[in-house]
Structure 1
Amino acid sequence: MAASGRVAGLRDIVIDTHRPAALARFWASALDDYEIAPYDDEELARSRAMGIDSPEDDPGVMLLRVDGAGPRIFLTFFPEPKTMKNRVHVDVTGDHTTLPTLGAVVVADHDDHVILADPEGNEFRVFP
């Protein structure tokens, strides 16, 4: 165990997706304090060297908190379809009624929270 008593710290939340750039835009719009990590000239050159001509085709897109705190959200290309309930999900706070305008779908409405699915079917809970 580390001297501080901690064993591990949360670094990233990784979401497998068929369309990383599109799902990154959804989550960047849905979460007030996150934005898509910028593509500087060095990153664009690295991508082109890997045969990726556009950020839209990037197999890994990162969201960063605007205040620089963690965790990062990393959306990565994964070819297989989602076939069952999420084993891990995200809980957020806010107004669930605006999320469908971004592409989310209401799955269930409970007394204290609403379950929605992002545009690729990944479920998450919204608490007021």
Structure 2
Amino acid sequence: MITHPKLQLTVDCADPERLAVFWAAALGCEVEPPPAPFTSWRAYWLDQGLPEEELGTGEGSDSVVDPRGVGPRIWFQQVPEPKTVKNRLHLDLGVSGGRGVPFATRKERVLAEVARLESAGASRLRVEESEESGSCFVVMRDPEGNEFCVH
């Protein structure tokens, strides 16, 4: 019998809490709460015997989960080295409604989402659009420079 593994995406970063808050807002997810009865992940991990020096800074709110339980958990893992090259894997956020929606409407939806994400801390790299081919997407960076697309 083949079992399917539970999927978790892991993103290396400098500031896990900052990225967890950004991506929770970007994806309509929530920052994962610590297990009861703990009030913070830091308190939970200390209780589990993890040494203080391994916890990094902050309260340890470093993951996001889909409140519907459908999407994967995303864990933001603190690493000492900065991002230096283009991502080999990136997220695509589909907000346009697809090719069955008129091009102008899709473009409007994409640009509205881009504006919302910019206000949450993302930055726009470039806009790719061609009414002729029906393509409209924006390449963006999260607050630590990880690329993603909005289409």
TM-score bucket (shorter structure): 0.7 to 0.9
Go from structure 1 to structure 2 and tell me whether the alpha carbon gap of 1:85 and 1:44 turns closer, same or farther (over 3 Å shift): closer
Query: Normalising by the residue count of structure 1, what TM-score does the alignment of the two structures yield?
Result: 0.81
- Deviation of the 1:93 alpha carbon: 2.1
Point out the more displaced range, 36-45 or 69-78.
36-45
1:68 lines up with 2:69 in the alignment? yes
Give structure 2 stretches of 5+ with no counterpart: 96-112, 130-135
Residues 21, 55 of structure 1: 8 Å contact kept: no
Give structure 1 stretches of 5+ with no counterpart: none
Q: What's the RMSD between the two structures over aligned residues?
A: 2.5
1:25-60 CA-to-partner distances (Å, cap 9, x unmatched) read: 01011112x1111123345533334328998242x7
Q: How many residues align?
A: 121
Cα distance in 2 between the residues matched to 1:78 and 1:91: 24
Cα distance in 2 between the residues matched to 1:122 and 1:106: 11
Which protein is bigger by CA-based radius of gyration? 2
The partner residue of 1:101 within 119, 129, 132 is 119
1:46 lines up with 2:44 in the alignment? yes
Go from structure 1 to structure 2 and tell me whether the alpha carbon gap of 1:41 and 1:99 turns closer, same or farther (over 3 Å shift): same
1:120 lines up with 2:141 in the alignment? no
Q: Percent identity?
A: 32
